[in-house]
Each structure stands twice: as C-alpha cells, then as structure tokens.
Chains A and B, each alone.
Chain A
Amino acid sequence: MAAPIDQIVRQKRTAEESRQEDLEVLLQALSENKEALLDAVEILAWLRDRGILRLLKGFLSSGEEILRDVVHLLNTPEGKRILSNITQSGVLLSKLDLSRLSVEWSDLDREKKGWREVIKEVRDPEAVTGFLMLLQMMKGLSRTAGSGQDEGRHKAGDPSG
C-alpha cells in the first residue's frame, strides 16, 4: 500500500564534496590540455610583467561604461571623420601596388632619361591618372583645411540624409 507523496529530500552535497567534485573536473581539464595550459601560463606571465594584464583588468571590469564613452566620443563629426579617414586610407592603400612602384624607381635608377623622355612618359595614360589623383588629393586637402566644415555629404544609408 503506497500513498502518493511529493516531498523530496534532496541529496545535499557538503561544501567539501562540491569542492572535491569541482577539483576533479578541473584536474581532468588540466590533464587533457597540459601543453596548451603551460603556454597560456607563459603568456599570462609575460602580460603581467609588462603591466598589460593590469590594464586589461581595469578595462574589463568597467567594459560597458568604457564602451559607451568611447562610442559616444566617436559618434561626433570629428570622431566619425577620423574613422572614415582611416578606412578611406585603408581602401586607398589596398588599391596601390607598392611592389610595382618600387620596380619603377629602380628602372629610373638604371635608365638615365633626358627631358624628352620624361615628357614622353607624362603622356602615358597611367601617369596622367596618377597626376590627376595627386591633384584631387591636394584640392581636397586644401578645401578641408580651408573650410573646416562638414560638407554634409550624404553617405549610403545615412538616416540624417
């Protein structure tokens, strides 16, 4: 004869049992990842020696606030321009083939060219494009320095636009 019951006596683990169980899990992980952990310890020691760990601790402990401050700082015309310039520079650099440029310099070293040759080179379409690019860049610099104003250009997806 078994009457229905609903009281459950939980098997409580003592603090010592919990600690022992946690230690076993940790020891298992240590044993399975010995090499990786040794490397990690070495890196941590290096970061600590140089004060980087302390810096990181500070940063992480108030990460949300710092992120908010940084984002608000960047979300100004100046901040956006900095980021925009960085990314635009990146785009420009990605389009330049510097290795090809170095080959041209060495060619110049070897070949002694007179004015006639230089004028001939200037008529080359690639050289013309290069000159125009430099000219545009100089005009842009002058305009920016002169006005110091945001030109109000519409960017793709700009909600204010």
Chain B
Amino acid sequence: MIGRCFYMGTPLRERRRNRGGFRKREEPMKTVMDFLRDQGIEVPHLCYHPSLGPIQTCDLCLVSADGKLVRACAEPYREGMTIETGSEAVKAVRMEAMDRILSQHELYCTVCENNNGNCEIHNTVKQMKVDRQNLPFQAKSYPVDDSHPFYRYDPDQCILCGRCVEACQNLQVNETLSIDWEAKTPRVIWDGGSSIDESSCVSCGHCVTVCPCNALMEKTMIGEAGFLTGIQPDTLRSMIEITKEAEPGYRELIAVSDMEEKMRRKEIRRTKTVCTYCGVGCSFDIWTKGRDILKVEPQPEAPANGISTCVKGKFGWDFINSPKRLTRPLVRRGERFYETSWEEALSLAAEKFTEVKESGGPDALGFIASSKCTNEEAYLMQKLARSVIGTNNVDNCSRYCQTPATKGLFRTVGYGGDAGSIRDIAEADLVITVGSNTADSHPVLATRIKRAHKLHGQKLVVVDLLEHEMAERADLFLRPESSTDFVWLAAVTRYIVDQGWHDTVFIEERVNGLDDYVDSLNPFTLDYAESVTGIPREKLIRLAEMLRDADSTCILWAMGVTQHTGGSDTSTAISNLLLITGNYGRPGTGAYPLRGHNNVQGTSDFGALPNVFPGYESVEDESVRRRYEREWGGELPKKAGLDNHSMLDSILKGGIRSLYIIGEDTAFSDSNSHHVQEAFRQLDFMVVQDLFLTKTARFADVVLPASPSLEKEGTFVNTERRVQRLYQAIDPLGDSRPDWIILRDLARRLGADWPYDHPGAVMAEAAKLASMFAGVTYDRLEGYKSLQWPVAPDGTDAPFLYADGFPTSDGKARLVPMPWTAPRRTEGGYDLLLNNGRMLEHFHEGNMTYRSRGIRHKVPSAYVEVSTELAAERGIRDGARVKLVSPFGEETVYALVSSRVRKKELYLSIHTDQASVNTLTGSDVDRATHTPAYKEVHVRLETLDRDPVCPLPGHHPRYGRKNPQTGVEVERKWQREDYDFPRGKGERKNGRTH
C-alpha cells in the first residue's frame, strides 16, 4: 500500500527550507561597465555585447580602477572604487587598442553594406574621435568564405572580437564557431576548419547578428544595402583606395559615410514583426527595400528571444515574393479556377453561406480559423460564426496539436497556458522535456536550455523516442515505448510518494484530491512501468531522485505527448507530477506545453473554439452569453459546437454542408487524408483563404488570397501567453488582403455592421468583453512591449502564474486521477512504428520554407529515417526508395539510415510537399479532445529500388563535426607571443590586468 509510506522521509518543502529557503532570482554580477552606465558614462567597447556579457578581446573598455588598468566589462564593481575613464593615460591605452583593431579592419564605410547606423566599429571610431591610425591595415590573406547560402565571412574585415564565437558556443550553443588563436594569423573557423556550408552550422544567424562590423554578413545585404555598394568589385576596390588616400582623416570619412547612411534610411525600412514559424514568439526588425527583404535584425529588448533566431526566422522569408502566391480571388467554374474581383468573390461567398444557412440552419456551416493568423483575425472568425451565422461550429488547428495539453492544465491548475516564462525555464534547476524535439521544433527556446545546461549547471532529462540533439545533451535520456508516457509518469509519481519525497506542505495548502489520486496510482509500480515502457527501473528511480533534489523543476512537452489517444490524460499526469512535487507557483517551476505554430495559443485564447468565447468562458454559461449578446447584438447559439474532427464526420453524415477555412491546409495536415478529402468532396460550398493554392484550397469553390504577417498588423500570443504586436512591413502582394479585412468585408456582405478600420479596434472590443485581456491595448504593446495574460484593467500582466493561488473556486489546484489508454495495436503485418514530427529547417506543409532556395539547399526533400538495425536487416542504404503502407494509404519516400531512430521505429518529417504522413495516419483521436493520434501509426515497409541517391546532402549540418569550447577562450589570445596588454609590455603578460 502506498498510504503507509505517506509521511516517511523529510518532506520536500522542509528540505528546501533546510537548504536555505527557496531560490530567488539571482541578479547578475555588477561590473564596472554596468556601474558607469548607471551613471550615464558610456565606455568604448566592441567585444562586449549586453546579450553575451564580457568577452575581453578588444581591450577598448580599459579604465583605471583604484589605480590599476582593468577591463570595465569584466571587472566586478566594488563599493567605494575610484574609477577614471577620461585621463590621458586611459585614453592612450584605448587608442592603442583601437589601433590594433583598425589594423585588422579596413575602414571604407561609405561603400560598405554595414554602414547603416549600427556598425559598431564605425560608431566607436566616432565616439573615440579617432582621426588616423598608427598601425597600418594588414590583410589576413585568407579568402572570403562564400560557401553558405545565407551569409559570408570576410576574414580581412574580422577584428577577432569573438562575439560570433561566444554567441555560437554559449547562446545558441551549437558549438560550431571558434577562433584559431594558435594560427599564425588567427581567424574564426567553423568546425575546426571546414567551409561554412559543410560545417555543423545550423544557420541560426546569431553570429551574423552580433558581428560588430561587416565580417559576417547576410548575403541579401550584399550589393543592396547602400547607394554605392552595387558597384563592380574592381571599381569599388579603386574607390576605396582613392578615398583613403584623399581623405585627410577619419573624421571626414565618417562624416561622409554618416550622410550616406542617412540617405539609406529613406530607402530601407525597418519594421518590427513577430516570427510565424513556431510558438516561441521571436520578434525582430525586418529590413525591407521595396518588397526585397534585406535582413532580419533581432533586438536585445525582444522579450521572448532577445537577439536569438533560428534558420527560418532569420532567413526563411522568400515565400513572401513567391510567384506562386495567390494575388486575386478565385472562383471555381467547372474544372478550373477563374481569377475574379473581390466584389464577385465575396458576394458569391455571402450568397452561398446565406443559402446554406437558410436551407440547413446555421449549424450546417463550419468555420476553421488559423493558428498562423492574428488574435484579431481569430476573434473575427469566431464572431462571424457565432454572431453573423449563428453557430458555434468554429475551431482552429490547435485541435491537431495542443488542445490535449490545454485540457490537462484546465483539469489540474485552471489556466490553459504555460505556467511561467521562457526565463523560468532557463532558471530552473531541472528541465524535463517529454515528447519534444525542442532543438528542431522550438529552436530558440532550446538555446535557453542548452545554455543553462552548459553554463549554469541546470540538469536536463529528455524523454523521447528519437535520439535528437537534446537527447544527446541530456543528463538522463529515457526512451520509452511509444504511447507509454502516462505509465512512467504515474510510476515515478507513485515512487516519489512512496518515498515520502512529495511536497506535503504545498499539497496541504494548495492542492485538492490527494487521496483519490494516490489510490489511482496503485497499479503503477516501477516493475510494471518497466515492463510497459521498457525503461529500466533504475532510470526511473534516478529521475525521481533528480526531481527530489531539484529546487525547481519545469516540465516541457509537445506533440510527442499530445498526439496520442491518451494525450490529454498524459498531459494531466505531467501536471499531477508537478503538483505532487510542489513545482508550481515559484520561479523556475511549472508546466510548459510548447505551442507549435506562432499563434496556437492566441487563436484559442481569442475564442476560435467550439465551446468557449474569448478568454475561455463557456458558450453555455448564460451570463457570459448575455454579455456577448449585448455587445454584438442579437441572439447567440446556446450549445457548444463541433470541433474540426466532428465537423468532418458531420459532413459525411450530411450535417455540415459548407466550410470556411482560413490558413489551414486541412487536407494535408489532418490525419487520414483520404477521409478528410472525401469529406471535402461532399460539401455544397467551401471557401478557403490562404497564401497559396494549397491541397485544401483545391477543393474550394471560392479561394480568397490572404496576406502573410509581414503585410499586415495585429497581435500574436506566444507559448508564454505573451501578447506581441506585429507591424506591416510591406504592402499586400497584388490584390491579396489581410485576413481581418476579408473577414470584415464578408461580414458586411452578410448584413453585419462591422466598423473596424484597424486591428486595434478589434482588440479593444475583445479586451472589453474578456476579462483575461482587460488591460490589453495597442498602446501598451507599442514596439517591443508585450503583455502576458491575464492582464488586469490597469495593464498589470502575469509573467508568472499561480504565485497567489489557482484560478479555481477555492484557489486550490486539483490532482486528477486518470486511467492509462493503451495504444491500439494495428493488425495485419504493419510491423513498424511510424514516428513523425518536425525538422528544424521546414515548417508545416512546406508552403513557406520550400520556397527558400537556401533552405532547399540544406534540405531539398523529405526522407524517412530508418534505424541501422532495420537497414541491416532489410538491406536498405541511404537514398533507397521505399514504400510505406498503412491500413489507410501508402507513400513513397527516400530512406536515410539514421542513428536517431532505433530498431523498428521510423521517423518521417511532417513537412513535405511530396510524401504526406497523413496519407498513412488513421482516424483514432485523443479521447478527450479529438486531437488525432498522429503518433500511433504502424506501417510496413517495402524497398522499391536500391539505387541510392542520398536525400540529405553532405552539406547538411548533421554531417558537421561540432567543436565545443568554453567560449572565445581569450586566455589563448593572451598567451600569444605577439600579444601584450596595451601599454603593459613586460609587466602585464597573458592578459592579466592587475
């Protein structure tokens, strides 16, 4: 019996108190530079970056502290210190340091692509009033590395500040870049010396972003950024030499380039936007010249990502100008689509919707909103369904991925969102990821874990089928049998209770339902868990001990948990484990379902769900409904509507006869594609609104061309519940329109009096109606400002939930007993498990990322990963064409033999324009939310030919050889024979400053 062990051992809370209380957020050490900045004194510097910290390579920030020369960026500030920043002696050593820098970097600012006001060498030369240099410029004699599709490295312009290395080693933690300090002429190297393209570089762009000059540069900038940068190279070379000869000093050169920079500002537009490639919610400035995207420039103040990006966010925007974009509305006539006017398309849509409503009632229509569109657009979609048509048949594609996680959280803690912020994940003592290939699916968030793990002693546990990058880095990697996460979670929870390691004080004060819950754990012994999951009991005990020993734990999970028949129950089990161990309501703790698309969270938050209004208030609650009826006018439907899955069933049963789908390729992304497509064929009338003629749009009667994020305004909510604004960077292409305008105009044609002239007006209405967003205004979201819901009317937001209680009637969380749903076995010789999910380079159905030549260069097509064991057994080599057959369909795809998968497990990316995994998936769904059980697919494999062409080119980062370093390793620079501390020859060798 578990009960008898209840109060054995020292309760967790007690142990934490004995160790000196709960951990508080630690403030970083204050340096002399921090102190001077507080006083409004800016010391020159080039290697220091606020997001990277001190690097100590440039020697420009030297100051005299208590009579000794020190680097202000690294020297700890002490109370009472005497600091001199402007004495002649200090200025002299700084000038010496600058001389050394300029001997490695040729100043030709006016004809340089980086002359955009943010070139830090340019600005520092100006700040220090440098007029000439004493050491001449010396080329390094290495060629420019132009091999990579997105950026190039020019060693001759590189000052070896090491920012790129620090960013790669310790912020992105891909560990590709380093400086070869022992070379005769040091330079930055990739993987210890390969070309950039053939290295392990994942194209995240961190190095380019932090480069203080033009040594690392986006190729889209080259020849485009300035008025004189497009000149032929030999002419340009001559101009540089003449300019240097003719200029009397740098002040004049700087003045001329400053003028040219001001002219550029008129031509190059910088617009803040929010990335649409995952739920992390990276924001950055996007630089455009006309419709051309010159670069993506992240900013330190970006709340979710700071200066971080991934390959898609930094470089994956070519789709914006794809000739395949839809630019005019289309109407189906016979076997063809015909381009038409907005007037005709919208009138036809309104007329047909009305016809279906009048003949079949409002519930004969269904509405699917997009988790890639804005909150305002989700709000308008659900308002259109409920208020204009009169049905609650409205849903969004979070149904395909994240609804089970939300369900699990609603059951236990009351809010359907992350418990804290990404900062909490970074600060946790222990991070556990379950069913999440975080480095591929949420790359920027993964960097925070990798950094904390590498630098700050954070422990990492990864539970997954796939041995991906995070698994390789983990302190403990657990590899359960598919669909058995619930079992090991329950067993570990029971073991913790058995040992008396649960947080009795927390549970007593803040949690209901302990006894029933503990009883429900009875079957889940470690032995049972080992037999079901295949995880050895010793490893499960190790995990329990790590939970016991950690002051704070965050558990992150994604579709490896949710896309199962028991997805909601496993999500509940995760939250239960956190409650048992007291890991809610404190910094560095909590549950973190990692939202997939950019606005999975917001589209649901703003009511595009069949059972709730914005802010998750039930449509069946009369008082709530009355509030909306008063604001919107007219009567609203009283019963919850159908979700995506049920809508398809309803179509096939003759219920729903018309669908309106925005930004969702349901025919591709819903499971069991043949079933979905069969349903679409049965519709009387279908409207699809998208950027491209997707597989879904091909079934439509009317196709409306929409605008992507860069062509409109609005807001998204990221995985941290953070509401962020995006601004319009370029005009809509052709006659395409922002979705909110299309929705408004369609509603008007359906008789609604919708006055919105800007998305801000939509947000104002939502904030008025849903208390969760009461204090959200566009003014409060200006620029890089953001708000994490719930937001009080005065604008107070909630970066961290549950500190003062849970949003339940008595303020307590609930431990919720759940049964384990074993996966259905597929009969008939389907002997292989087809695991599936994301890859780093591509997104969703590939409509956007396959339009990028650079991304296609890295990953040209999809492939199925086959284990070495299976490959040996079946004689499969890289590039063999194989047919995968499931009870629901078959697909042909190239094979890649991979150590990431084991035995009879396969892995197929969900992003492809060729082989769709959903041709193979079935119609089983999560029992609570109807999310398809995409991960429970069994197939058989037939080898079609053995004439291999490897589907993954040799220049994919997977084949690179990382070169982990502690960072820039500046000590190696200081040990060089040719390095002396400025003005310190003979007495300050090896870089020591005192």
Question: Chain A: residues with CB nearer than 8 A to chain B?
Answer: 1-11, 64, 67-68, 71-72, 74-75, 79-80, 83-84, 86-88, 90-91, 154-159, 161
Contacts and interface: CB of A to CB of B under 8 A. Distances in A.
A12 to B, nearest CB: 9
Given A4-B699, A9-B338, A11-B339, A87 B239 contact: no
Contact of B242 (A79, A88, A159): A79
A8 B332 contact: no
**Interface hub of B133, B246, B699 (most chain A Cβ within 10 A):** B246
Nearest to A69: B235
25 contacts: A2-B332, A2-B681, A2-B686, A2-B701, A5-B332, A8-B693, A9-B338, A11-B328, A11-B339, A68-B232, A80-B246, A83-B242, A84-B246, A87-B252, A90-B248, A155-B245, A156-B133, A156-B250, A157-B102, A157-B107, A157-B136, A157-B137, A158-B137, A159-B139, A159-B241
Contacts of A154: 136
Interface string B217-259: 0000000000000011011001101101111111010000000
Contacts of B681: 1-3
B231 to A, nearest CB: 7
A155 B693 contact: no
Interface of B: 102, 106-107, 131-133, 136-139, 231-232, 234-235, 238-239, 241-242, 244-250, 252, 328, 330, 332, 335-340, 667, 677, 680-683, 686, 693, 695, 698-701
Contacts of B242: 71, 74-75, 79-80, 83
B695 A4 contact: yes
A159 to B, nearest CB: 5
Nearest to B230: A64
A102 B703 CA distance: 79
A66 to B, nearest CB: 11
A5 B244 contact: no
Q: For chain B, what secondary structure do more than half of its interface residues adopt (helix, strand, loop), or is it mixed?
A: mixed
A5 B338 contact: no
B337 A9 contact: yes
A84 B245 contact: yes
A87 B249 CA distance: 10
Contacts of A90: 248
A161 B139 CA distance: 11
Contacts of A80: 241-242, 245-246
Nearest to A80: B245
B325 to A, nearest CB: 12
Contacts of A75: 238, 241-242
Nearest to A7: B336
Contacts of B695: 4
B245 A158 contact: yes
A9 to B, nearest CB: 5
Contacts of A159: 106, 136-139, 241
Nearest to B228: A67
Nearest to A88: B248
Given A1-B682, A4-B695, A64-B232, A157 B133 contact: yes
Contacts of A158: 136-137, 244-245
Contacts of B246: 80, 83-84, 86-87
A71 B235 CA distance: 7
Contacts, number: 111
Given A156-B132, A159-B241, 13 more contacts: A1-B682, A4-B695, A8-B339, A9-B338, A11-B338, A11-B340, A71-B235, A87-B246, A87-B247, A155-B244, A157-B136, A157-B244, A159-B139
Nearest to B134: A156
A67 B338 contact: no
A57 to B, nearest CB: 21
Nearest to A11: B339
Contacts of A3: 681, 699
A73 to B, nearest CB: 9
A3 B337 CA distance: 12
Q: Which 3 A-B pairs have the closest CB atoms?
A: A83-B246, A156-B132, A4-B698
A62 to B, nearest CB: 13
Contacts of A67: 231, 235
Contact of A71 (B132, B238, B680): B238
A94 to B, nearest CB: 10
A22 B76 CA distance: 66
Nearest to B235: A68
Contacts of A64: 231-232, 235
Contact of A72 (B238, B245, B249, B339): B238
Contact of B335 (A1, A7, A10, A79): A7
**Interface hub of A2, A9, A84, A86 (most chain B Cβ within 10 A):** A2
Contacts of A79: 242
A67 B228 CA distance: 11
Contact of A2 (B106, B107, B238, B699): B699
A67 to B, nearest CB: 6
Contacts of B337: 5-9
A137 to B, nearest CB: 16
A50 to B, nearest CB: 27
A16 B337 CA distance: 24
A161 to B, nearest CB: 4
A159 B135 CA distance: 10
A67 B111 CA distance: 14
Contacts of B682: 1
B128 to A, nearest CB: 14
Contacts of B238: 71-72, 74-75
A136 B686 CA distance: 89
Nearest to A67: B235
Nearest to A160: B136
B235 A6 contact: no
Nearest to B328: A11
Contacts of B245: 80, 83-84, 155, 158
Contacts of B232: 64, 68
Contact of A157 (B106, B677, B680): B106
Given A8-B339, A84-B246, A2 B132 contact: no
Nearest to B686: A2
Contacts of A8: 330, 336-339, 693
Nearest to A8: B337
A64 B335 CA distance: 52
A72 B404 CA distance: 69
A8 B245 CA distance: 60
Contacts of B677: 4
B172 to A, nearest CB: 34
Contacts of A87: 246-248, 252
A145 B340 CA distance: 79
Given A75-B238, A86-B246, A157-B137, A6 B106 contact: no
Contacts of A6: 337, 693, 698
A67 B227 CA distance: 14
A84 to B, nearest CB: 5
A67 B336 CA distance: 53
A71 B102 CA distance: 25
B641 to A, nearest CB: 23
Nearest to B696: A4
Contacts of B241: 75, 80, 159
**Interface hub of A71, A91, A154 (most chain B Cβ within 10 A):** A71
A157 B99 CA distance: 10
Contacts of A161: 136
A156 B245 CA distance: 8
A156 B693 contact: no
A92 to B, nearest CB: 10
A3 B232 CA distance: 53
A83 B250 CA distance: 16
A75 B107 CA distance: 17
A2 B680 contact: yes
B336 A5 contact: yes
Contact of A5 (B239, B252, B335): B335
